[in-house]
């Protein structure tokens, strides 16, 4: 069964303290990997799509990378406004999205 | 403004009382879907629609119905809600489906069935 696992479940960082979130998956024909941001009381908001190992994408303080078995969301010098839950979703051969359970990130001023 | 609109945002109902959650998008998207989000389980797809009059089951369709009579609307129907359907529901739309697609999500509907 195709699975998506995110770690850690929760992460607290001081403002400016860089770190990485992980999304690992068991593959049955990876077609694409998505990162979304979800703020409390809101729907997920699209951040990135990655398609092949070695690919990287950046947006402000966020950089997403992809290997054959996992993806990392690197957060450089985070600010309090980066606090949110970050969701990973994978599109497998059946072209449906399978979501992980998310990492709840808190940035402390 | 491009958006997906769900109503209501919050709903408390009793077991067995039929309800409908509406979803509308203004982006002329072909693909729409419904998810439920539960702690520790992530987002799970309930139903999806690839176009008008075309719907199919997702991963957790039991106890739900949908219809797609117009491209912009995709209501979720609970004919006889039960407490295990208490959850946070999201409607999403995209121009297509699969790996090249960015999904736009609504604000969510928090449903409590007592």
pLDDT score of B101? 79
Q: What confidence category does residue B98 fall into, taking pLDDT thresholds of 50, 70 and 90?
A: confident
Q: Judge whether residue A2 has pLDDT over 70.
A: no
pLDDT score of A26? 85
Q: Judge whether residue A94 has pLDDT over 70.
A: no
Question: What is the per-residue pLDDT across A20-42, written as a single tens digit (0 to 9) for each?
Answer: 999 999 866 788 899 999 999 89
Q: Which of B25, B76, B43 is nearest to A97 (CA)?
A: B43
Residues 6+ apart with CB under 8 A from A82: A61, A62, A75, A105, A107
Q: Which percentage of chain B shows pLDDT scores above 70?
A: 98
**Mean pLDDT across the stretch A66-80?**
96
B100 to chain A: nearest residue by CA? A32
Q: Judge whether residue A1 has pLDDT over 70.
A: no
Report whether A91 contacts B99 (CB < 8 A).
yes
Q: How far is CA B67 from CA A6, A17, B55, B94, in A?
A: 33, 47, 7, 17
Question: What is the per-residue pLDDT across B4-15, written as a single tens digit (0 to 9) for each?
Answer: 999 999 999 999
Question: What is the per-residue pLDDT across B13-69, written as a single tens digit (0 to 9) for each?
Answer: 999 999 999 999 999 999 999 999 999 898 999 999 989 999 999 999 999 999 999
A102 to chain B: nearest residue by CA? B42
Interface test with A, best of B42, B45, B57 (most A CBs within 10 A): B42
Residues of B in contact with A99 (CB under 8 A): 35, 42-44
Q: Does the CA dihedral A69-A48-A42-B106 come out positive or negative? A: negative
Across all residues in chain A, what is the average pLDDT? Answer: 92
Q: Judge whether residue B82 has pLDDT over 90.
A: yes
**Pick the residue with more confidence: A3 or A76?**
A76
């Amino acid at each position: 069964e195709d699975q998506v696992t995110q770690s850690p479940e929760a992460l607290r960082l001081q403002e400016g303290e860089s770190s990485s979130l992980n999304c690992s998956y068991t593959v049955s024909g990876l077609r694409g990997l998505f990162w979304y941001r979800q703020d409390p009381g809101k729907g997920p908001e699209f951040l990135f799509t990655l398609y092949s190992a070695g690919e990287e994408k950046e947006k402000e303080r966020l950089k997403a990378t992809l290997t054959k078995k996992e993806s990392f969301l690197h957060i450089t010098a985070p600010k309090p406004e980066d606090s949110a839950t970050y969701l990973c979703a994978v599109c497998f051969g059946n072209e449906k999205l399978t979501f992980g359970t998310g990492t709840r990130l808190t940035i402390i001023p | 403004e491009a958006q997906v609109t769900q109503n209501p945002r919050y709903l408390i109902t009793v077991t067995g009382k039929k309800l409908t959650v509406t979803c509308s998008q203004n982006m002329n998207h072909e693909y729409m879907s419904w998810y439920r989000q539960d702690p520790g389980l992530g987002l799970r797809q309930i139903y999806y629609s690839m176009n008008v009059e075309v719907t199919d089951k997702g991963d957790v369709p039991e106890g739900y119905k949908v219809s797609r009579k117009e491209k912009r609307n995709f209501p979720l129907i609970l004919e006889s809600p039960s407490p295990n359907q208490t959850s946070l529901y999201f409607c999403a739309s995209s121009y297509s489906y699969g790996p090249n697609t960015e999904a736009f999500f609504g604000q969510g509907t928090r449903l409590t069935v007592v």
